[in-house]
Structure 1
Amino acid sequence: MSHGAEPVGGPIMTRPFKILLGLGILGVLIVAWRFAVGLGPSTGLSDGYPWGLWIAFDVVTGTALACGGYAVAIVLYILNKGMYHPLIRPAILTSALGYSVAAVAIMIDVGRPWHIWRIPLGGFPDVGSYNWNSALLEVALCVMAYVAVLWIELSPAFFEKWQHSPNSTLAKFSKVGYSFMEKALIWIVALGVLLPTMHQSSLGSLMLLSGPRLHPLWNTALVPLLFLISCITMGYAAVVFESSMSSAIFKRKPEVKMLQSLYGVAVITIWIYVGLRLAELVYQGRLPEMFTADIYAAMFWLEIVLFVIPAIMYYRGGKKLDLGAMFRGAMFMVFAGALYRFDTYLVAFQPGENWTYFPTVPEILVTVGVVAIEIMVYIVIVKRFPILSGRTAAVSTS
């Protein structure tokens, strides 16, 4: 199951790692202060804006960026494109870290995080009292389950390493675990494809509940489907971004042909998204809103342009972009999908004239700290466990 993956090796406590560690510690301290003083003094949230940066970025955007494992699993296992095997472990790792960050962000954001454990237990001790038609409940249950599924999917990488541990108990356990995962992985992957399909679309359904408070350019019946399609685009973009960065930073041989093929798949999802979004707005008679001289029309067209640019790059490059061009195109996809989600949850959300929101400095620093911790964990895992494929540049050129 490793497909040539090996630990990167090297020291952990490098200068960049120490900087990330400092940002992470600062974020943790502010989180402790947030729990001590509450959401009011530490955030810009209000009755009009019950969610802000932690939900719009860490959860709604972060989980979409963490759909690399989901997106690659679709082409690898469902469409049977085995050529993408070397990309699956890094994609699952970034997905597991991204969804774990989202789970942490939810616990920081909710008013009573000590009751979260009751959600998967059906509201214990009031079992059966849940509103099972709730889109938000579906998101909570699916995200919780998917975090567990992702780390289980990644477990073979840990078992491979621990099989050679001097600790005989750990080595034996790892051999049994690795053997079990080889047999059970297909069922775990199936669950891993189902869960994000459910909750990514439900993140769109959730905003439909706001009714007239959501601007007409975003308040359409296809919002759940558009959230799902755009998360697949962002997932592919995240894989291209991660692979490009890891090959440059860790001096690994990049999987250029695989990334070119994956970039082409992402372009297909872009055209599906753009076509559906424009067609639905035209069908529903939203042309006046599309060409009104206001911030909403400007943000709408900015989204469309950001989505289309990487597709144009793909065709102008003869469908064979180099690594740098693919990296730039992936960044456009990421910005486009992130902007669509920010617009839906914050910019296009209109609770009333007397309500405004802008993230406070503590909100921004907590987000920076959480992302810093996520990057640190990624560095530690790829340096100590077989995640990345492709040999180092020094070895491959010798």
Structure 2
Amino acid sequence: MSSNHHHAPPAPVGGPLLNAATVVCGLLIMAMFAVLFVRFIFGLGAVTNLNDGYPWGIWVVFDVVIGSAFACGGFSVAMLVYIFNKGEYHPLVRPALLASLFGYTLAGVGVIFDLGRYWNFWHILWPTYANPNSVMFEVALCISCYITVMWIEFSPVFMEKWGLKVARKKLERVLFFFIALGTLLPMMHQSSLGTLLVVMGTQVNPLWQTPILPLLYLLTAVTIGYGVVLFESCLAASAYRMEIEMHLLRPMARIMLGLLGIFLLVRGIDLSVRGAWAHAFSPSLEAFFFWLEMGCFMLPYALIGAPSARKNPARLFLAGIAIMSGGVLLRVNGFLIGYDTGPGWHYFPSIAEMLVTIGMFAVEVLGYILITRRFPVLPRPVAAH
């Protein structure tokens, strides 16, 4: 399939590195380091509201479970380009991969913040400690491998900038192998993040406790991946005053709605089969958050269900946000709101915990700005309108 749009080669955006956005990010990152300094010296209890009933808080749920789902853009777009051979999506690969790279690398780092005995982290990678029956082991191993694979996939960007032509040619011969791994690994651990909830059994509300959680997590991860690409493409285009790649985003939005439809169908059938709908109509916090989550997943159909509506960048942007919000809620609901370990246990994140999560996000934004301004990531239109 050829498109009448000429692909502009990616180029650095340029411009000053010091601006309001980078300064704010820098301050937020400093606040995060201050909290982490206290955490690593005095332990988790000094900065978090975690307890024996809630051993996982927002660091695991936001920085790892949600962060890695948000980082599925690279994998979702790579699937379109390399598996379904839709070459016209090529300009979206690098920006999506960059966002994924940060999301996953930070998810990997974020795990270490939350480990009680973080100095034993190397046990995960040491064969004699391996426990092939453990869901967490599989997630840890897959994510570690995937982070490595993504840096390799993204390295041509640095090679291009630094003029390493020979190394780049050699890498491009074997790149297909890493790209294949890069579509397989996320499928494995995104589904396993759902399995983490399955093994928690009856502590998780029936609205979110189902044997098909691995499938639901995988379906939403891919869908969120496309949502993030919509969100990020519109944002980058307005921030850098570039032309929005509408001819790519429109058909991608259609694919996204299709996947979302499959997810909603599977979700609805699952709730019916397990007889869990009654919980959705009980006057409870869980029911409220369930409908909020479902509302976010339904909203894209109202926003961009009609083909004409998909021509509107603002609607695509909002649909991207709606899908991302639905994905966040699905995960927060399962791990925190619909999680009840018995009477007497409560958890609400401390300010220090929030500062770390916000700081992680700031690292992502700052990194994205620095790399797109100095390295060839975003497509530069030859003649923008």
Bin of the TM-score, shorter chain as denominator length: over 0.9
Matched, 1:81 2:100: no
State the one-letter code of the partner of 1:158. Answer: F
State the one-letter code of the partner of 2:55. Answer: P
SS class of match (2:308): coil
Compute the displacement of 1:296 (Å).
1.6
Q: Tell me what 1:148 maps to.
A: 148
Matched, 1:289 2:279: yes
Matched, 1:249 2:243: no
Distance in 1 of aligned mates of 2:8 and 2:146: 24
Runs of 4+ residues over 4 Å off in structure 1: none
SS class of match (1:320): helix
Compute the displacement of 1:104 (Å).
1.4
- Pairing partner for 1:51 from 56, 68, 85: 56
Distance in 2 of aligned mates of 1:216 and 1:62: 24
Distance in 1 of aligned mates of 2:304 and 2:361: 30
Unpaired stretches in structure 1, ≥5 consecutive residues: 164-173
- Pairing partner for 2:197 from 207, 226, 230: 207
- Pairing partner for 1:258 from 231, 242, 248: 248
How large is the Cα RMSD of the aligned pairs? 1.4
Q: Tell me what 1:335 maps to.
A: 325
SS class of match (1:346): helix
Compute the displacement of 1:285 (Å).
1.7
Q: Tell me what 2:135 maps to.
A: 135
Distance in 2 of aligned mates of 1:16 and 1:295: 36
Distance in 2 of aligned mates of 1:323 and 1:369: 29
**For each residue in 1:298-354, what CA deviation from the matched residue of structure 2 results, as whole angstroms up to 9, or x when unmatched?**
211221111011022222353533111100110000101000000011011111111
Distance in 1 of aligned mates of 2:13 and 2:348: 41
- Tell me if the contact between 2:73 and 2:222 (Cα under 8 Å) persists in the aligned partners: yes
Q: Tell me what 1:157 maps to.
A: 157
**For each residue in 1:100-153, what CA deviation from the matched residue of structure 2 results, as whole angstroms up to 9, or x when unmatched?**
11111111111122221221222xxxx1x4321111100000111111111111
Distance in 2 of aligned mates of 1:267 and 1:62: 22
State the one-letter code of the partner of 2:135. Answer: A
Q: Tell me what 1:182 maps to.
A: 172
Aligned residues: 379
TM-score normalized with structure 2 length: 0.96
Compute the displacement of 1:26 (Å).
1.3
Distance in 1 of aligned mates of 2:261 and 2:347: 33
State the one-letter code of the partner of 1:193. Answer: T
Distance in 1 of aligned mates of 2:337 and 2:202: 14
Compute the displacement of 1:3 (Å).
5.8
SS class of match (1:145): helix
Distance in 1 of aligned mates of 2:76 and 2:249: 13
Distance in 1 of aligned mates of 2:308 and 2:240: 29
Matched, 1:352 2:342: yes
Matched, 1:229 2:219: yes
TM-score normalized with structure 1 length: 0.93
Q: Tell me what 1:374 maps to.
A: 364
Unpaired stretches in structure 2, ≥5 consecutive residues: 1-6
- Pairing partner for 2:29 from 18, 24, 27: 24
